[in-house]
A = this chain, B = another copy of it.
Amino acid sequence: MGGDHGPEVVAPAAAIALERRPDTRFLLFGDEKLIAPIMAKLPKLAAKATVIHCDVAVKMTDKPSQALRQGRRVSSMWRAIEAVKRGEADCAISAGNTGALMAMAKVCLHMLPLIERPALAAMWPTMRGESIVLDVGASIGADAQHLVDLAVMGAAMARIVFDIESPTVGLLNVGVEEIKGLEEVKAAGRTLRETTWPHLSYHGFVEGDDLGKGTVDVFVTEGFTGNIALKTAEGTAKQIASYIRDAMGATLASRLGYLLARTAFQALRRKLDPGRVNGGVFLGLDGVVIKSHGGADAESYAGAIEVGYDMVRQNLLANIRDMIGHASEARAPTLTPS
């Protein structure tokens, strides 16, 4: 029911994902009256999907506390997450209210052992391809241990997404020598450097401009800075796209040039499309929950479904558990097995 378009995008997206991942089955939670007419036009999907009617839908404008009060046990969002909890579904995907989704997932699924706070990992297009950036806003502030947890969870996800044995991980920091960043970032850097990791290759500190370069596979930062960096990059891309439009419409010659080069511009537009890499992954939860962009179209939402599929098929949670088990040796003494 979530996102800007609700079932009109979600059901066709499921149909697209089903073509590419034919062994998928779907549970669609929401208003049956709205979903049924769309499903009538998608017979292949209908054969692999069950619609579960829910009276309540979390609104995009609900506060998380409100959503939990009014939507717990009854809303389509809650029941989709609950299906994961009960083992009826392998993962939950939503284009709905991010804060509500995180709050409900945390309450319903709980955290993985030793992980205290959830994180939202985003795919970031870079000059080299793509990188993972986390946390982009699931929680605010981070001590050194949380930053190490982010590194570990991000590496586990990168191993799946990029299919590499030992993804490179960098800690976002500032370059001004004398201040050299926050104490907790320095402490996390020491732990990451001094621990031998099975599937994580610690690169060191990275700066904001390394994001676009794709210097590492996984960029780690706390949620406040990560969220602002993500939105700053999105805003900059939009700003430049508007400069390009203005510049190309300015003179007859530039308009002609634009026509000649329009295939190139279309390729460029695809590269700049914020929906191109869709599917934020909530990490740290005992279950797989994927957040699609609210404004995603069917093709883009299908991408988020496929991210969820891959995370499940390739055992994201088991990967994270392994890494965390290993990481527990590097933890504060009170947390290590006695």
Contacts and interface: CB of A to CB of B under 8 A. Distances in A.
Interface of A: 63-65, 97-100, 102-103, 126-127, 137-141, 172, 174-179, 181-182, 207-213, 221, 223-225, 227-240, 242-244, 247-248, 250-251, 253-254, 256-265, 267-268, 271-272
Contacts of A228: 172, 174, 207-208, 221, 225, 228-229
Copies in the complex: 2
Contacts of A239: 126-127, 212-213
A164 B237 CA distance: 29
B232 A211 contact: yes
14 contacts: A103-B178, A141-B182, A175-B231, A181-B224, A207-B228, A208-B235, A209-B232, A209-B234, A212-B238, A236-B240, A247-B267, A254-B260, A257-B260, A257-B261
Contact of A182 (B102, B140, B233, B243): B140
7 closest A-B pairs by CB: A208-B231, A257-B261, A257-B260, A212-B235, A209-B235, A64-B178, A212-B239
Contact of A251 (B175, B210, B263): B263
Contacts of A177: 63-64, 97, 99
B260 A256 contact: yes
A182 B223 CA distance: 10
A210 B239 CA distance: 10
A208 B228 CA distance: 5
Contacts of A236: 211-212, 232-233, 236-237, 240
A225 to B, nearest CB: 5
A246 to B, nearest CB: 9
A259 to B, nearest CB: 7
Contacts of A172: 228
